[in-house]
Amino acid sequence: MQRKGKMLTITVEKFLGLEPAHRTIDEANKLNQRLKDESDIDIHKIETTTKEDLVVYFNDRLLNALHIQLLSDYFRALSDQESTLNRSLALLQRAMELLYVADVISQSMSMVRLQKRQELERLLQQKVSEL
């Protein structure tokens, strides 16, 4: 089970390390498929599942708060690449929710996650003002 978390970390960090111009939808789709095939981590399911069910989903896969925080960073990066505003807002919202789930899983609050939530909230407000 630790393999899932390690593979998630390596794969997502590789994507996040790319220059923004190279973070294409095609690259994201490849990453999503690789996570699903090799680690039973389904990005689409993470995107569409309730926060409460995500706690169960992550616990079943033995993913910890750091893994979930990394997924939050991934959703934020996807939001930056998204061309439609509504989809971008939904991805930012999910990134914030993942930080909440990380707090639940770890049974603690983190200053790093709190700062990330505040930054995501600022980005959400900024994008909403573009409407």
Per residue of the chain (131 residues), what is the pLDDT tens digit? 467 778 788 888 888 888 877 788 888 899 899 889 988 999 999 999 999 999 999 999 999 999 999 999 999 999 988 889 999 999 999 999 999 999 999 999 999 999 999 999 999 999 899 77
Helix (H) or strand (E) holding 125: helix 111-129
Other Cβ atoms less than 10 A from the Cβ of 66: the count is 16
Q: Model pTM?
A: 0.90
Question: For residue 36, what are its two tokens?
Answer: 């699903």
